[in-house]
Amino acid sequence: MIVFANAKINIGLRVIRERPDDFHDILSIFYPVPLTDVLEIHQSPRFEFHSYGFPVSSSEKSNLCVRAWNLLSENHTLPTVAIYLLKNIPTEAGLGGGSSDASFTLLALNEMFHLGLSQETLSNYALQLGSDCPFFIHNRPVLASGRGEVLTPLTLSLKGYYLVLIKPDYKISTAEAYSHIQARPEAENPAFIVNLPLERWKEKLVNDFEEYVFNIFPEVRIIKEKLYSEGAVYASMSGSGTSVYGIFRDEPPPMPWAKNHFYRVFLLD
């Protein structure tokens, strides 16, 4: 079986409070985008995992695809499989690539071996792998709250808009980013803001991680500014990583200055 594990962007990201369990409560809109990793899974005499494309930072044992397989095999009788992962989504980018891979592994195994698991059950498994993994089980625009696992569906649609995605060669771990964040309990809910005309998002929608990341990597701030100068209606860093996206009403012009970075353009559907 071959499945395509898509990325997501954060539209606004507010850190509301630190929790007793060392996580943070957030408010953010998760929106699926068409940049995908490719997962191929088939039965095999022994378990195997192979990764290609962008290097994954974790060991095989801690890789989220492997952990997803282990989690299901602990609770269900499964044949052994070989998993081949082609990484097209950059790591430590704030795009949810690892979480998507984990969730799509659960979805594929459920379908391959006719486990009959509901979305709710799969979401509960996914949550054991990562806070934003349940999003990719449902894979539709949502307001994410709690630590990212409480998902409220939204009617938001960016169909027909163009998305420019740029990831410079800087990396920052989620743990490091959160260690420098200042919680803001009074932050405005992004779900209210996206009901405004898109032109007003620039003045209202905030990613709380930008202040810290822009200070240590000024080039990330410059990329955001350049996207606006190229005509983006809204531009932002995604998640706690270093990728930056711009939303354009019309097809964006070529951006030769971005060629030294990971640089992709998508028409959203």
Q: What one-letter code names the amino acid at 237?
A: M
Sequence length of the chain is 269
Give the helix ranges, DSSP H, for 63-173.
64-75, 97-112, 119-127, 133-138
* H or E stretch at 33: strand 24-43
* H or E stretch at 178: helix 174-179
Measured in degrees and rounded to the nearest 5, phi and psi for residue 153 equal -60, 145
Is 8 among the catalytic positions?
yes
Q: Which of 132, 167, 208, 224 is catalytic?
A: 132
Nearest CA-CA partner of 102 in 144, 72, 76, 146 = 72
DSSP per residue, 214-226: HHH-HHHHHHHHH
Distance of CA 214 to the CA centre of its chain: 20
Nearest CA-CA partner of 9 in 150, 189, 158, 121 = 158
Distance of CA 193 to the CA centre of its chain: 21
Is 132 among the catalytic positions?
yes
Tell me which residues are annotated as active site. 8, 132
